[in-house]
A and B are shown apart, each in its own frame.
Chain A
Amino acid sequence: AQSVTQPDIHITVSEGASLELRCNYSYGATPYLFWYVQSPGQGLQLLLKYFSGDTLVQGIKGFEAEFKRSQSSFNLRKPSVHWSDAAEYFCAVGAGRSSGSARQLTFGSGTQLTVLP
């Protein structure tokens, strides 16, 4: 079974600073990898996803993530954080299983981002 670890529960950065949120996964084959963002009181919204090909993936809102197979990582980055980026960020891994089973996403526990003015 797949698993996802987000080692940082809470990160605080100043507006305009760079950001990197860490994500490590465990899965036997090449996974489908996702980053979702959850603003306060809202549902989750997809930022970006990786299937195959170029290991650097561009997403919405200026975010990008890099898949590193050797490190089993899929870290999320943004060069300059805006106050509106304050939210909770979830990494997720999707893995296909036999038909009829749950081809589910497994989510990490999330990283809460605080942005200081």
Chain B
Amino acid sequence: IAGITQAPTSQILAAGRRMTLRCTQDMRHNAMYWYRQDLGLGLRLIHYSNTAGTTGKGEVPDGYSVSRANTDDFPLTLASAVPSQTSVYFCASSELGGPGDTQYFGPGTRLTVL
């Protein structure tokens, strides 16, 4: 069982380009999340999805969009990347999406925007 996979592992991107970070889980979890991790700031929630077909905004959603067409996949799109979006991005999932749920994290995508 792979758990959560993310692709790519790392990417260098020119400012203004469009980029989609991929996330797939095989645990049949209802809820999925995207976080960004920046030094000294911990993890901040970008977007979440409590179930397939629904999405919501987290703490830092501006400049990002998500979709949840099915249970397994939760891609994160940067429509026009800016240098401030340089970060490590983590996808996570949890069984039900409740506040007490354990979240399971992918290995991360390191994104550099120049």
Contact = CB atoms under 8 A, between A and B. Distances in A.
Instruction: State yes or no: do A and B come from one complex.
Output: yes
- What range describes how many residues of A lie at the interface? 20 to 34
B42 A110 contact: yes
B57 interface: yes
Interface string A96-117: 1100111111011110000000
Interface residues of B, number: 27
A109 B56 contact: no
Contacts of A108: 42
A101 B56 CA distance: 7
B1 to A, nearest CB: 15
Interface string B80-114: 00000000001010000111111111111000000
Contacts of A44: 43, 90, 92, 103, 105
A67 interface: no
B100 A43 contact: no
Contact of B56 (A34, A46, A49, A102): A102
A100 B42 contact: no
B45 A102 contact: yes
8 contacts: A9-B40, A42-B107, A43-B4, A43-B106, A44-B103, A45-B105, A49-B100, A109-B42
Interface of A: 4, 9, 32, 34, 36, 41-46, 49, 51, 90, 94-97, 100-105, 107-110
